[in-house]
Amino acid sequence: MAFLFKYKKLLFMIILMGSLFYNACLVQGQEGQGSLQESGRVLFISSYSYAWDTVQLQIEGIKKGIAPEVTVDYEFMDTKRFSSNDDMDEFYNSLKYRMSRLEPYDVVILGDDAALDFAIKYQKELFDKVPLVYEGINNEELAEKAVKDPYITGVSEKLSIKENIDFACKLMPAAKDVVMVLDDSVTGSVVHRSFYSYEKQYPDLDFSEINVSKLDFSQIKKKLLEVKENSILIFAVMTEDKDGRQYTNAEAIKIICEYSKVPVFRMVEGGLGDGILGGNVVSMQLSGEIAAQVAMDILNGTPPGNFNTVIESPNIFCVDENVMRNYGLDLSLIPHNAEVINHKKTFWEEYKRVLKPSITIMSVLALFIILALWDGRKYKKLSEELAVAKDKLENAYHHDILTGINNRTGFNRDMEILKKLKTPFALMMVDVDNFKYINDTYGHSAGDEALRQIAMRLTEVSDADFIPYRFAGDEFIVIAKGRGNSLYEEEAKRCISIFNETFDLSGIKHDIHGSIGVARYPEDTEDFDSLVVYADCAMYEVKNNSKNSYKFYKDICQK
């Protein structure tokens, strides 16, 4: 009891001291806050447009780093579409007029190279003695030169080419070459020079590029399809092709991921979650946030000349786990400090609340097993029960948790069997039309229920020669065995028939439809990986046109 009393006194003293320390810090923090700038005017000039996804991330970072009392205005040069001298003059005249009608700005934040070039050119005329804070600058020489001006400071943007090649080599040790997707833009030219400067460091890899500025759309698709499966593909920038067709990042990512047979690495944040694997990326949100924090320091009295060096590029590892899984890559190779999106909980993470007591029970059972070894009959019975449990676990490994039908692992297993037997079959890729609308409008629980009902209907019409699988997200695959176009036509009709009747989602009737693409083995191809790609291409042909129908890959090839 005396020990307990001493322990209580010690605990009370620790709590009291902690409380006093917290109050002291709180008072000090409140005193420091009293000296902070309560207002100010900041202008953000972006080299691009708001539609550019990296610009949106930069703005998110700026909003996070700027105090609520500070006014922030935004101007967009849109140089991806308008970059001629006349366009720059038009932007200059427009900005000059607006600035003449507004209160002066205290700090100007400049996003990417073109904005910094513009600000330096018109510094005396538009921004005389106004602190300039840049971020996202690819041109290292320009960044270093700019900070020599006492009114200019900022954050560089260093694209991690070497880090991404190293990361890709760990994930794909059999890689033979590195392919960079780029163009002739300012960013593309910087990447081009830097990319080939690393060639001597990787004598076992062949370096090449897909320069979209020298290709039309059909040639771009062809080049992507020609990328070999043992290649490292890195997407840098794709803004405009040979015909003058312009692409947003989102459009470029969709095209590259759709036609590439290998995972796509990227060096700039943005687009992850849309099919890009990711890699070591420049965090555009952190760039904006750091620039905003520097702007706040300046507003609070720190001279811009105090920042006389280029602030290091904020690079982080960011990886899409879904893409890693889709390509069968080892998840354990993801860097421990990486930001992982689409993380699928491990079996332990998902069921640890159940597994912990189960492990205890299993430990007790293990003890009984040892004791049962002395009794042959008991041991035999236990062995039979364990065999049943093993079969159940094996069955769960090959089946989708949400729908109960075969999963991607089961699909890969069955494809290996078909490959060995060389059995003719048709592969049907089924994609739910407008599935995102169901999730966004009625919630993910309604979306899950829709997927369960689709799987149930596929199961109801299945047999030994018509086998459904949940492939990924709202995509299903059906393997239809047999030979002959008329038979495959019937199987496709059987597949589309599951969407004939309305779906009941929590008492609400919904008309849900699907787009189906069909590729045949061996008629369309004898390469099983290409078979999935062909079925996917046929499915997207339906989705981009009529929807709620099916189409054979052979039909779109004849166009």
Question: Could you report the per-residue pLDDT of 363-406, keeping only the tens digit for each?
Answer: 777 776 766 666 666 666 666 777 666 767 777 788 999 999 99
Distance of CA 297 to the CA centre of its chain: 33
Half-sphere exposure of 251 (CA within 13 A, CB side): 11
Find out whether 256 and 264 touch, Cβ atoms under 8 Å: yes
Residues 6+ apart with CB under 8 A from 122: 92
**Which CATH number fits the domain 161-267, given the four candidates 3.40.50.300, 3.30.1490.20, 1.10.357.10, 3.40.50.2300?**
3.40.50.2300
Find out whether 487 and 493 touch, Cβ atoms under 8 Å: no
Distance separating alpha carbons of residues 292 and 286, to the nearest angstrom: 10
Q: Where in the chain is the domain with CATH 3.40.50.2300?
A: 40-157+286-313, 161-267
Distance separating alpha carbons of residues 553 and 538, to the nearest angstrom: 5
Specify the 3-state DSSP secondary structure of 373.
coil
Distance separating alpha carbons of residues 59 and 44, to the nearest angstrom: 9
What was the pLDDT predicted at 389? 67
Question: Could you report the per-residue pLDDT of 230-256, keeping only the tens digit for each?
Answer: 999 999 999 999 999 999 888 999 999
Specify the 3-state DSSP secondary structure of 285.
helix
Specify the 3-state DSSP secondary structure of 64.
helix
Distance separating alpha carbons of residues 434 and 548, to the nearest angstrom: 11
What was the pLDDT predicted at 21? 47
Cis peptide before 131 (omega within 30 of 0): no
Q: Where in the chain is the domain with CATH 3.30.70.270?
A: 408-557
Residue 461 burial (10 A CB sphere; 0-12, 13-18, 19+): middle
Q: Which helix (H) or strand (E) holds 319?
A: strand 315-320
Specify the 3-state DSSP secondary structure of 283.
coil
SS3 per residue for 468-482: EEEEECCEEEEEEEC
Residues 6+ apart with CB under 8 A from 29: none
Residues in the chain: 559
State both tokens at 303.
Answer: 């001279």
Residue 534 burial (10 A CB sphere; 0-12, 13-18, 19+): buried
Residue 218 burial (10 A CB sphere; 0-12, 13-18, 19+): exposed
| Amino acid identity, position 247 | Y
- Tens digit of pLDDT at every position of the chain (559 positions): 444 444 445 444 544 454 444 444 444 444 444 334 457 999 999 999 998 888 999 999 999 999 999 999 999 999 988 889 999 999 999 999 999 999 999 999 999 989 999 999 999 999 999 999 999 888 888 888 999 999 999 998 888 999 999 999 999 999 999 999 999 987 888 899 999 999 999 999 999 999 999 999 999 999 999 999 999 999 999 999 999 999 988 899 999 999 999 999 999 887 788 899 999 998 889 999 999 999 999 999 998 778 777 888 889 999 999 999 999 999 999 998 899 988 877 666 666 676 677 677 777 777 767 666 666 666 666 667 776 667 677 777 889 999 999 999 999 999 999 999 998 999 999 999 999 999 988 899 999 999 999 999 999 999 988 999 999 889 999 999 876 677 888 999 999 999 999 999 988 899 999 999 999 999 999 999 999 999 999 999 999 988 889 999 998 887 6
Distance separating alpha carbons of residues 226 and 201, to the nearest angstrom: 25
| Alpha carbon distances (Å) from 494 to 229, 468, 551 | 34, 12, 13
Q: Which helix (H) or strand (E) holds 233?
A: strand 231-235
Distance separating alpha carbons of residues 175 and 202, to the nearest angstrom: 11
For the structural domain made of 40-157+286-313, what CATH number should be given?
A: 3.40.50.2300
Residues 6+ apart with CB under 8 A from 283: 57, 269, 314, 315, 316, 318
Distance separating alpha carbons of residues 119 and 382, to the nearest angstrom: 79
Q: Report the DSSP pairing between strands 475-481 and 425-432.
A: antiparallel
Distance of CA 196 to the CA centre of its chain: 26
What was the pLDDT predicted at 35? 39
Sign of the alpha-carbon dihedral angle for 190, 196, 201, 205? positive
Distance separating alpha carbons of residues 311 and 144, to the nearest angstrom: 10
Give the phi and the psi of residue 233 in degrees, each rounded to 5: -110, 120
Sign of the alpha-carbon dihedral angle for 403, 405, 408, 410? positive
| Alpha carbon distances (Å) from 289 to 35, 272, 311 | 21, 20, 12
State both tokens at 467.
Answer: 């086998």
CATH fold for the domain made of 408-557 = Alpha-Beta Plaits (3.30.70)
Terminal alpha carbon distance of the chain: 90
